[in-house]
Amino acid sequence: MSELSQMWGMFALLAVLSCLFVVMPFLRKEKLVSVDHDANAERIDIFHQRLEELQVELDNQRLDRNDFEESVIEMKSRLLNELSPERTLDTKGNNLVLAATGVAFTIVVSSVFYYFTGSHQQIANWHKAFEKLPEYGERAVLQTGEPLTANELQAFALGLRTKLANSGDDAVAWMLLGRVAMSLNDYEMAMQAFDKALVMQPNNHNVLVNYSQALLIEGTETSINRAAQMLSRVLRQDPQNIDAISLLALIAYERQDWLEAKSAFEVLLSTMTQNDPRYNLIKQRIADIEQKLESENATEEVQQSGPQLAVSVTISEAIAAQIPNNATLFVFAKAANGPRMPLAVKKLTVFNLPLQVNLNDSMAMMPDLKLSNFKEVVITARISVDDSVMLQDGELEGSSDIVELKEGTQQVNVTISRVITSTGS
């Protein structure tokens, strides 16, 4: 790989520079050495002549012993200074030995230091992971051979990141990286990878379902809402997507939306045989939901009085594809002749059309403005582009005819059939 070659090239360059740093002082010193053999011989002869003269003066008593000795010492010192270049006659060989020793020491110390503190093993693993990427992909995606171990999953993720860095964006590679990251419990990396994949393929059902799983594991209210919206997008295009249905069933169950949970679990059950180990578990879950629904209905019948509106909401096929992302569904009743304030409101951030909602006095926004205080109402269903009931351009809406309220439960049908093109229209 080019990165690996560049790294080793840099190592070699640094090694050469460090060796030159060690050798240069010795080379500079060698250039300063100069020896003049004839000059040294003359200085020695002069020294001996002068020594003989001093000895004659001492013998003739023209020089006392102390002066003689001081003169001899001074002459020897001067001679040593004058002969100092001659003591470097063999420094050339010594310098070469010292330079070679310094280079060897530098290389040995650097090698030992890198062996114990460097990342050579990680680099080797990186290179190996990239080479074995096709094998890991077959074992992970096609389920051939032994399942990947934790270390192999780490290597697979490293190989995928290297592939993406070298060859640019690849939606399939990003999705695989997200799934591997989930297996490694690195949900932050998984969501970043799924985000990259969605930018390139925003309607890829596999990416949306896998991303929803990561969001559900994160578990915050915001992430659960986002997961539900993604799953709703999948089901609008592929109503029989079992993975999306199962995840949406779990979301509805956790939110105690028993009707939606029951419907989703029944769809799942219809796709399984009785030999499936999940069959009895899901069947028991449906039975539990039915008991909860019966209990809630019994409680509502005791606590609630006044008119009950069972509103069936559908959407026209002409505008079904225009449902915005992250939409919110509002179903509300207003007096046909009276205040503009809704008398009962149901808000759904997760929904699949068609659906049915119930409106009654318990959903009044103000105590004095409720269904039982009016005789005629109009039911409106609006798909909002944001979380506000205020009208916005691009929202979808439909209204019923005037409904005369009576005691008991009344069935009302509302079809969302128009697009709001300007505020208030």
Tens of pLDDT, residue by residue over 339-350, are 888 999 998 877
CB 321 within 8 A of CB 422: no
Q: pTM higher than 0.85 for the full model?
A: no
Residues 293 and 350 in one domain: no
Query: pLDDT tens digits for 25-43?
Result: 655 544 444 555 567 777 7
Contacts for 68-75: CB closer than 8 Å, 24+ residues apart: 75/47, 75/50, 75/51
Contacts for 248-256: CB closer than 8 Å, 24+ residues apart: 248/350, 250/216, 251/216, 251/224, 251/227, 251/350, 252/350, 253/285, 253/289, 254/224, 255/350, 256/292
Find the length of the chain: 425
Q: Which residues contact 383 (CB under 8 A, 6 or more apart)?
A: 315, 323, 324, 327, 328, 329, 395, 396, 397, 416
Residues 169 and 234 in one domain: yes
The two tokens of residue 315 are 């959407």
Exposed e or buried b per residue across 47-74, where buried means at least 16 C-beta atoms within 10 angstroms of its C-beta: beeeeeebeeebeeeebeeeeeeebbee
Residues 140 and 108 in one domain: no
Q: Is the pLDDT of residue 109 over 70?
A: no
Among 66, 95, 122, identify where a domain stops.
122
Residues 150 and 279 in one domain: yes
Q: Which of 77-91, 195-209, 305-319 has the lowest mean pLDDT?
A: 77-91
Give the residues across from 331 on adjacent strands. Answer: 346, 381
Q: What is the pLDDT of residue 98?
A: 62
E-assigned strand segments in 252-340: 307-315, 328-335
Among 298, 320, 338, identify where a domain stops.
298
Q: What is the pLDDT of residue 366?
A: 82
Residues 58 and 109 in one domain: yes
Query: pLDDT tens digits for 114-137?
Result: 555 545 454 555 455 455 555 555
When divided into structural domains, the chain yields a total of 3
Q: Is the pLDDT of residue 10 over 60?
A: yes
